[in-house]
Amino acid sequence: MNKHLLTTLIKREALRLGFDSCGLSKAEMLSDEARILEAWLNQNLHGKMSYMANHFEKRIDPRLLVDHAKSVISLSYNYYTEAKQKPDSPKLAMYALGKDYHDVVKEKLELLLGFIKEKVGEVNGRCFVDSAPVLERVWAKRSGIGWQGKNSNILAKRIGSYFFLAEIILDIELEYDSPVKDYCGTCTKCIDACPTDAIYEPYKVDGSKCISYFTIELKDEVLPTEMKGKFENWMFGCDICQQVCPINSQSRPNHEPQFHAGLELLNMTRKDWEELREETFKKLFKGSPVKRTKFKGLKRNIDFLKP
């Protein structure tokens, strides 16, 4: 099968499976990005996320993840929802209102890889959903999924930025896409709105200052006192830089039932959260990305939000 036809069939199947966009790029060494990543790590902007310094060579060269890799398929999967928690309740990032995206999106990826194998025979390929040393935003940008905004998220016209990124790296050549234009222009809304100054300059984020870092990644028993009063009621993750981004006026509700939030969670009041018990935590967040913090971590975050 020729590259053009196969590429067309892959993109068509990706959309059928529920992905919002699918772009392709050549699997090769990321020389420029390697220098940027190394400088970022050397400045300790990853904080205590030590895993980000691991497997450096694999992060910058997909051919070390998949033998003889030739192509990277980048995909986006919408998670935007109009569902809202109680106004005064401690807040969860939108992506965490439903089931764990790792499981939901990975299943779709495996189906797409299976489709490719049906069309061309045995191929060497692997699926990735934010669970391996892959610079997913770089590949999304290269493949034309969107441009990298000043908050470092991938932004896409007609879609917004509320989507998960995923990749299939495989050892067959395909037709490759080109990056799209950066439409951020002179806008600095995300920079101006960040309460912890994590976006320290356009397109550069200090991961060790992000609310998501403190509420998810940081495992310390006590959160830094200098951050008290700066979390704007976020107890798990943060959506501020997405909420203020003009591109998200184009966001539309997702069509994935597993990402729909349960009424029990949405109806939790501030008092309910402050009195949260471990058995309720396990019930609310079974199969949820929030389980990553464990009960102790979420309780720490909720207590930190108290005046």
Within 13 Å of residue 296, how many CA atoms lie on the same side as its CB? Answer: 5
Question: Of 67, 88, 130, 220, which one is the catalytic site residue?
Answer: 130
Please, what sign has the CA dihedral across residues 227, 231, 237, 242? negative
Backbone angles phi, psi at 71, to 5 degrees: -135, 145
Is 220 tagged catalytic? no
> 307 with 228: CB under 8 angstroms?
no
Give the span between the Cα atoms of 72 and 62, in whole angstroms. Answer: 8
**What is the set of active-site residues?**
130
